[in-house]
């Protein structure tokens, strides 16, 4: 008879990767529904195509690597990658955009590095960055929130736009931004609140003048503030279920909050405040669903605090001084690159090895 000796805890709840991914998907549902309410049916077309392409690419890669396809598909990691990428791009972006991004995320970022648990970078964010650099126009063509327009296209027209970039009546995505007066709404309201602020500040306006635009209202921007609150709710569910730990979300949000507060004190007329940074972009989605990827994040508790803080700081720096208004994807990938050095200096020392000599 063999006796196994192990440290406490001696009883633990074992969760499979598949069950953890299902909880992540469940927590994403409120945010997805809010996005659908404010930006229309396109998000469901993006999700459908992304999921189908992700499963197909995953199966082909597993077959090429002589691995069991079904076992790989059942872990739901490809599904989570597809969903995160699909909800990050404009709902009416052309279908081939999400196809290219999903194939790159699964085939290149995930399987070329060895598959599940081996990827150095967050697959969804790597795919997003490739799309943003390759197709900047399509990746920034967000419609204004539904309350600022005469109404978004319906299900059928959204499908037409998704497939052909024109409605059945021949209107393009740009044309359906027209308001009742015939004025191009995008000339008044940029794609996102962060994009709008960046554009106005570059033209010499102050922050208070920029936030007088129709897209701002309530906390930090019509539509976007509710999307962030929905993802915050989903993230808290993940914390409550212990799917993720608090270190990365807390340090990311704390770092971003501190940087935004300091910036507001130094230059209140030109640097957005805490509310804008936390609730006008993809901050909550990044803090709870993207940065917490267990494969590409730091491993120790101290390391995760450092890792999250790095992402928060980089998000602020790129939004303030860089060329992209949101910056979440770039911040996550840059932090992914720093994970080995973070782990090296924050990994707990094994008893009896290393440490200060007495």
pTM over 0.75: yes
Of the pLDDT bands very low, low, confident and very high (cuts 50, 70, 90), residue 222 is: confident
Asked if the model's pLDDT at residue 328 lies above 90, the reply is yes
Whether the per-residue pLDDT at 44 is higher than 90: the answer is: yes
Three-class SS of the chain: CCCCCCCCCCCCCCCCHHHHHHHHHHHHHHHHHHHHHHHCCHHHHHHHHHHHHHHHHHHHHHHHCCCCHHHHHHCCHHHHHHHHHHCCCCCCCCHHHHHHHHHHHHHHHHHCCCCCCCCCCCHHHHHHHHHHHHCHHHHCCCCCCHHHCCCCCCHHHHHHHHHHCECCCCCECCHHHECCCCCEHHHHCCCCHHHHHHHHHHCCCCHHHHCCCCCCCCCCCCCHHHHHHHHHHHHHHHHHCCCCCCHHHHHHHHHHHHHHHHHHHHCCCCCCCHHHHHHCCCHHHHHHHHCCCCCCCCCCHHHHHHHHHHHHHHHHHHHHHCCCCCCHHHHHHHHHHHHHHHHHHHCCCCCCCCCCCC
Average pLDDT value for the chain: 87
Residue 190 has pLDDT above 60, yes or no: no
Tens of pLDDT, residue by residue over 194-211, are 888 888 888 888 888 888
Tens-place pLDDT, residues 50-104: 999 999 999 999 988 888 777 777 888 999 999 999 999 999 999 999 999 999 9
Q: What is the pLDDT of residue 182?
A: 47
């Amino acid at each position: 008879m063999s006796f196994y000796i192990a440290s406490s805890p001696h009883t633990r709840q074992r969760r499979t990767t598949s069950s953890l991914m299902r909880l992540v998907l469940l927590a994403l549902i409120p945010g997805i529904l809010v996005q659908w309410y404010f930006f229309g049916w396109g998000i469901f077309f993006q999700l459908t195509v992304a999921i189908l392409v992700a499963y197909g690419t995953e199966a082909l890669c597993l077959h090429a690597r002589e691995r069991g396809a079904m076992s790989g598909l059942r872990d739901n990691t490809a599904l989570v990658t597809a969903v995160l990428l699909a909800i990050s791009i404009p709902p009416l972006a052309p279908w081939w955009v999400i196809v290219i991004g999903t194939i790159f995320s699964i085939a290149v970022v995930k399987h070329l590095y060895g598959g599940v648990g081996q990827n150095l970078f967050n697959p969804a964010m790597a795919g997003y960055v490739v799309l943003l650099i390759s197709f900047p126009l399509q990746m920034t063509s967000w419609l204004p929130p539904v309350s600022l327009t005469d109404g978004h296209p319906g299900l059928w027209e959204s499908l037409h736009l998704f497939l052909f970039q024109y409605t059945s009546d021949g209107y393009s995505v740009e044309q359906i931004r027209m308001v009742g007066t015939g004025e191009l709404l995008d000339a008044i309201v940029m794609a996102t609140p962060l994009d709008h602020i960046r554009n106005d500040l570059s033209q010499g306006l102050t922050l208070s003048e920029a936030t007088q635009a129709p897209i701002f209202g309530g906390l930090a921007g019509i539509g976007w503030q509710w999307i962030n609150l929905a993802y915050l709710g989903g993230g808290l569910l993940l914390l409550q279920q212990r799917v993720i730990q608090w270190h990365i979300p807390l340090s990311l949000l704390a770092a971003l909050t501190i940087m935004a507060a300091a910036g507001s004190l130094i230059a209140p007329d030109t640097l957005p405040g805490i509310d804008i940074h936390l609730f006008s972009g993809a901050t909550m989605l990044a803090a709870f669903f993207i940065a917490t990827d267990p494969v590409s994040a730091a491993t120790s508790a101290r390391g995760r605090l450092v890792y999250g803080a790095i992402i928060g700081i980089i998000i602020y720096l790129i939004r303030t001084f860089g060329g992209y208004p949101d910056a979440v994807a770039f911040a996550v990938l840059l932090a992914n690159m720093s994970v080995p050095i973070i782990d090296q200096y924050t990994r707990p020392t094994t008893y009896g090895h290393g440490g200060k000599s007495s």
